[in-house]
Structure 1
Amino acid sequence: RVLNKEVDNTTKAYCSFLATKCIEVKRTTGQHPGGIVVIPADMDIFDFTPFQHPADDPNAEWLTTHYEFASMHDSVLKLDELGHVDPVALRMQCYLTGIDISDAAEAIPLDDKKVLSLFGSPKALKLHSNPLGFKTGAIALPEFGTSFVQGLLEEAKPSTFNDLLIISGLSHGTDVWNNNAEDIIVKQGRTLNDVVGCRDDIMNYLISMGMDPSMSFHIMEDVRHGKGTGGNPEYEIEMKKHNIPDWYQESLKKIKYLFPRAHAAAYVIGAVRVAWFKLYHPLEFYATYFTCRCDKFDIKVMSGSLEKIVSRIHEIQGNPEASDVDQEELIADTAACEMVDRGYKIENISLMESEASTWKVCKERNSVIPPFKAISGFPVLAAEGIVAARKEGGEFLSQQDLMDRVKSTLNVEESKKEGKDVYYSIGDSALQALDDLGALKGLSKTNQMSLFDF
């Protein structure tokens, strides 16, 4: 039986034939969020590739190409419609600091020596004890905060904006740093300016050595597509003729993919701007970072002492079975460690001060205040309802008053959508979560006054 149907010997043979054609065909879809393939209007998708329903959902709005784009890139156009946190974060930082977003490019310099120094040392942050042994001040900076790039920064020791461009290229390329540029810098003692970081570096260097611009361009294109130079003897003859070092040619042969310099520049400009806020507007930086780039928090840990934060970090790092949630929490804890070590504070959830979803800056107390959303599993409607209820009626008299007022507060936005009155909601589990954090301290359970309250 095949697909619950009886088949004869002839059909079995045909099924076996079809089965051989399915060998090594992908069973799953590797989806690139925002990767859109554009098919000419007078052609059909099947002229290029079959398609699949993502997650086998026939009702999915988007479809996924069955073949990898590498097999189609010379035939069809692909758009990477990527969403980036960077513009959102920059807007929030500008809002918190009073900088007009339209003036940000002029207000935030890209050549501030103290800011650039963060990519090589934490010294400018003035850490009190540095319990985690940070080697750079780039923790929590976009594109430069991962452990891989941190290691790259430590070995490459960047000092200029151009150095950061090269590092961005090295970190985004394939077989560009590991067993390649890393060995050239560490073992051969060369500098960042000597190695290939971005695809444009190849063409510009070869032209500067006197090679034909057209050939220099084609070598760059072959290398960035992972073809190297070994397949074309003419390349090697010309490079030897123009005194291109052997180590440089060997480096080109190892590369599988190279980042464009313009793309690297966009990333570095964003990172340097964020680093400027980190150095000169730390509270606004951390409030934005926790709001835009972190999803999981342990507020009990983060609002505790530096020792408590460090202990939790070591606990997660030392657990080989740490969950994905633990790893996400580790990201926030690491930034919290740096922040507290700089002399700032993370407060507990506050009924009267916490926002629904964004972290809040408190200049008076040199601190940031977490939102209700930072509590794991806390309902959105409960978070928004608490904020709306306190704006409408001020302080809460009791836990009962809190629940009653949230449930009787009109959700204006949802009411407009539904065409009828819709109210916020809050349940016992949300109240318990607040109580567990000590956020209900001082609130009696009911409005009824008790002698034991005195």
Structure 2
Amino acid sequence: PQTFAELVYISGLSHGTNVWLGNAQELIKNKQATLMEVISTRDKIMTDLIYRGLPPKAAFTIMEKVRKGRGLEAEDIRLMKEYEVPQWYIDSCLKIRYLFPKAHAVAYVMMGFRIAYFKVHYPEAFYATFFTIRSNDFGAELVLGGLEHLKTKMKELKAKGNEMTAKEKGLYASMEVAHEAMLRGIRFLPVDLYRSDATRFLITPRGLLMPLTAVPGLGEAAARTLVEARVEGEFYSVEDLKTRARLSSAVIEEMSRQGCLQGLPATNQLTLF
């Protein structure tokens, strides 16, 4: 595709039933019609037929029958032939069971186009937003392990094939995007006790700073409680953090494993000697 219009046609073809497979695909492959000529959306039938000279009401009625999968009646076929509509076009109408509206196809492509634009021109903002939305599927430890470690884990998951759980599928999808981001030179920074946002990935000069929710077991409510607690002042110890932020021992252990608690003593007790 080289134009926006072609992308709209492809969107229509991919969302219909019996529109592409065994229909438009064969017509294009056999050079009977081009991408711009085959039926891709319901509106195209009406405009094509009006362009060929059919009365607008008849063109609309035929479009409605085809897009609902009702096929064509003998009178419809006779009328189409009278106005020299190609046989391949008539046959295509008879195969279709559902047609996507052009307005929906345009909306899908516009959304995809916007996303693609930001992905190309504003990569940090794109990936920060993507992982903020998909934070539940983000594997912080996998990403922090480096590119090769991430690739190894992706291969292990992919080897499971259809045995992957829904959670693993979500994780794999996020890993693919993280892998892509890393190949583009974008770094992921570990959770910082004082600088990380509760839920959002932050853009920094050094890379994308992971949110507090990237710590396994640390949910959104707990992350917001932690943020409120740190506003009151620095934490004196792990014990102080656990008490003020109301964190479980399991979360504290995960934070320690990710290096979030470096330099923080275990308790508030002072060592005199």
Note closer, same or farther for the CA distance 1:307–1:251 as it changes in structure 2 (3 Å cut).
farther
- SS of the aligned residue for 2:142 comes to helix
Query: Could you tell me which residue of structure 2 aligns to residue 196 of structure 1?
Result: 39
Q: Give the letter aligned to residue 200 of structure 1.
A: D
Partner of 1:334: 176
Q: Counterparts of 1:357 and 1:227 in 2: how far apart (Å)?
A: 50
Aligned partners of 1:303 and 1:345 also within 8 Å: no
Residue 283 of structure 1: how far off its partner (Å): 0.6
**Matching residue of 1:219:** 62
SS at 2:84 equivalent: coil
From 389, 403, 418, the counterpart of 2:242:
403
Structure 1 residues 189, 237: closer, same or farther in 2, change over 3 A? Answer: closer
Which residue of structure 2 aligns with residue 447 of structure 1?
268
| 1:383–1:240 Cα change, 3 Å | same
* CA distance 1:377–1:197, change in 2 (3 Å): farther
Task: Give the corresponding residue for 2:142.
Answer: 301
**Which residue is 1:343 aligned to?**
185
Instruction: Please state which structure has a larger fraction of its residues in helix.
Output: 2
For 2:32 and 2:237, locate their aligned partners in 1 and report how far apart those are by CA, in whole Å.
68
State the alpha-carbon separation in 2 of the partners of residues 162 and 247 from structure 1: 22
SS of the aligned residue for 1:361 comes to: strand
Displacement, 1:244? 2.1
Residue deviations 1:44-85, cap 9 Å, x none?
xxxxxxxxxxxxxxxxxxxxxxxxxxxxxxxxxxxxxxxxxx
The change in CA–CA distance for 1:245 and 1:298 in structure 2 (over 3 A counts) is same
Aligned amino acid, residue 330 of structure 1: Y
- Assess, with a 3 A threshold, how the Cα gap between structure 1 residues 349 and 186 changes in structure 2: closer, same or farther: farther
2:83 matches 1:249: no
1:206 aligns with 2:49: yes
Deviation at residue 162 of structure 1 after TM alignment:
0.9
Pair 260,178 (structure 1): closer, same or farther in 2 beyond 3 Å: same
Aligned to 1:234: 75
Q: Offset at 1:270? A: 2.0
| Deviation, structure 1 residue 306 | 2.2
Please, which runs of 5 or more residues in structure 2 have no aligned partner? none
The 1:191–1:435 alpha-carbon spacing in structure 2 relative to 1, beyond 3 Å, is: farther
Q: Pairwise CA RMSD of aligned residues?
A: 2.1
TM-score, normalised on structure 1? 0.56
1:409-430: CA deviations, max 9, x gaps?
Answer: xxxxxxxxxxxxxxxx321122
Contact kept? 2:188, 2:208, Cα under 8 Å: yes
User: TM-score under structure 2 normalisation?
Assistant: 0.90
CA contact (8 A) 2:40 2:99 kept: yes
Residue equivalent to 2:217: 377
Q: Write the distance in 2 (CA, Å) between the matches of 1:189 and 1:286.
A: 43
1:428 match: 249
State how far apart, in whole Å, the 2-side matches of 1:388 and 1:343 are.
Answer: 33
Give structure 1 regions of 4+ aligned residues with deviation exceeding 4 angstroms.
none
**Residues 298 and 375 of structure 1 are in contact (CA less than 8 Å); yes or no, is this contact kept in structure 2?**
no
Q: Per the alignment, do residues 251 and 311 of structure 1 end up closer, same or farther by CA in structure 2, a change over 3 Å counting?
A: farther
Which digits, 9 at most, give the CA deviation of each residue in 1:194-234, with x for residues without a partner?
222211111111111222211111111111111122xx011
Q: 1:189/1:428 Cα in 2 relative to 1: closer, same or farther (>3 Å)?
A: farther
Matches of 2:129 and 2:247, distance apart in 1: 27
**AA aligned opposite 1:328:** G
Give distance in 2, aligned partners of 1:244 and 1:198: 17
1:317 match: 158
The DSSP-based 3-state class of the residue aligned with 2:203 is strand
Out of 220, 223, 230, the residue aligned to residue 390 of structure 1 is 230
> Compared with structure 1, are the counterparts of its residues 187 and 368 closer, same or farther at alpha carbon in structure 2 (3 Å cutoff)?
farther
- Contact 2:198/2:220 (<8 A) preserved: yes
Higher relative contact order by CA 8 Å / sep ≥ 6: 1 or 2? 2
What is residue 12 of structure 2 aligned with on the other side? 169
What are the superposed Cα offsets for residues 264-295 of structure 1, whole Å, 9 maximum, x if unpaired? Answer: 22222222222221111111111111122453
Aligned equivalent of 2:202: 360
Give the counterpart letter for 2:185 in structure 1.
G
SS at match of 2:181: helix
Q: Give the conservation status (yes or no) of the 8 Å contact 2:124–2:203.
A: yes
Distance 1:311 1:253, change over 3 A: farther
- The answer on whether the counterparts of 1:379 and 1:430 sit within 8 Å (CA) in structure 2 is no
Task: State, as a whole percentage, how many aligned pairs show the same letter.
Answer: 38
Q: Which letter does structure 2 place at the counterpart of 1:404?
A: T
- Secondary structure of 2:137's match? coil
CA distance in 2 between counterparts of 1:182 and 1:442 reads 63
Give the distance between the partners of 2:90 and 2:106, measured in 1 at CA: 25
On the 8 A contact 1:294/1:331 being kept in 2, the answer is no
Distance 1:297 1:258, change over 3 A: same
How many residues in Structure 1 have an aligned counterpart in Structure 2?
271
Q: Does the 8 A contact of 2:42 with 2:100 survive in 1?
A: yes
Output the CA distance in 1 between the equivalents of 2:43 and 2:248: 58
Q: Retained in 2: the 8 A contact 1:296–1:329?
A: yes
| Structure 2: distance between partners of 1:404 and 1:294 | 26
